[in-house]
Structure 1
Amino acid sequence: MDQQQQQNNPIEMALQEYKQGIGNFTQKMPNIAKKFNAFTEACFEEGKLSQKEKQMIALGISVYSQDEYCIIYHAKGCIDQGCTEEEILETVGVTAAFGGGAAMSQAVTLVQECISELGGNNSQMQ
C-alpha cells in the first residue's frame, strides 16, 4: 500500500491517530506512559496463553466495550499474530453472545473492515 492509499484508508488513519495521541501523551506525562507501557507489555508477553490468544481476548473485550481504536489496534494484533479470518470472527461471535447487537454491529462493520484493509480477505491471512 503506497503512502496516498494509507492516508485515504480510515483504518490506517485511526492507527496513526492513536500512535500520535500516545506520542503526545508520552511527551506530556512520561512517567505515567512509561509505567502504563511496561504494564501492558507484561500483560501481552507470551505465557501460559500465547500472544495470539491474548490478542483475541483483547479484541473481544474491545468489541464488547465499543472502543473503536482498541478494536482496530487488536484486530491488527490478531492479524499480526497469524489469526485466520475464521478465528477472528469466532472471537467476535463469542463476544456478541455477551454484548448482543452492539457487539455484533462492530463485528460486521469495523472488524470486517480491519480484516479487509489490514490482512486481506482470505481465510488464512498468514
Structure 2
Amino acid sequence: MEFDPQNSSEEILHHYKAGIGVFTEKMPGLAEHFNSFAEECFKEGELTQKEKQLIALGISLYSQDEYCIVYHIKGCLDQGCSEQEIYEAVGVTAAFGGGATMSQAVTLVQECVQELNQLKQ
C-alpha cells in the first residue's frame, strides 16, 4: 500500500505501524535503537510532551512528510493539544515553509484533526 492522501488518518496510521513491524522483523537491532532514541527524545523534560509533539508536527510539515504529519497530529491530540494550538504551530511552520506548509495545513492537517477527534468520541 502506497501513501494515498485520500486514505483516512486511521488507515495511514495503520499502514505506518504495519511498515514499522515489517522493518523491525528485518532490522531488529536498528529498530530497537531508533525506538529507544525516539522515546528518549519525547520524554517529559524542560519541554512538555505536548510541546515536543507540536515541534515534531512543525518539522513534519516543513519536511512534507505526510506519515509524520498524521502521526504527530495524533500525538498532539493525545497530549491534549487543542485545534487552535495545532493551527498556531502550523502558522509558525508556514512562516518558514510557505506555500508547501499551507497546502498541507488546508488539506491533510484539517482533515486529520477532524477525523481523529471524531474517533476519540
Same fold (TM over 0.5): yes
Q: Give the one of 37, 40, 46 matched to 1:39.
A: 37
Aligned residue type for 2:117: G
2:23 aligned counterpart, secondary structure: helix
1:48 aligned counterpart, secondary structure: coil
Instruction: Give per-residue Cα distances to partners, 1:2-52, cap 9 Å, x unaligned.
Output: xxxxxx961110000000000000000000000000000000000000000
Q: Give the one of 76, 82, 98 matched to 1:100.
A: 98
User: Structure 2: 5+ residue runs without aligned partners?
Assistant: 1-5
Cα distance in 1 for partners of 2:107, 2:7 equals 15
For normalisation by structure 1, the TM-score amounts to 0.88
Aligned to 1:89: 87
Instruction: Give per-residue Cα distances to partners, 1:62-115, cap 9 Å, x unaligned.
Output: 000000000000000000000000000000010000000000110111110111
Q: Give the one of 48, 51, 62 matched to 1:50.
A: 48
For normalisation by structure 2, the TM-score amounts to 0.91
2:111 aligned counterpart, secondary structure: helix
Q: Give the one of 75, 79, 84 matched to 1:77.
A: 75
Aligned to 1:17: 15
Aligned to 2:57: 59
Superposition CA RMSD, Å? 1.6
Instruction: Name the % identity.
Output: 69
Cα distance in 2 for partners of 1:9, 1:104 equals 20
Matched, 1:119 2:117: yes
Cα distance in 1 for partners of 2:78, 2:117 equals 8
User: Structure 1: 5+ residue runs without aligned partners?
Assistant: 1-7
1:46 aligned counterpart, secondary structure: coil
Aligned residue type for 2:21: G
Aligned to 2:3: none
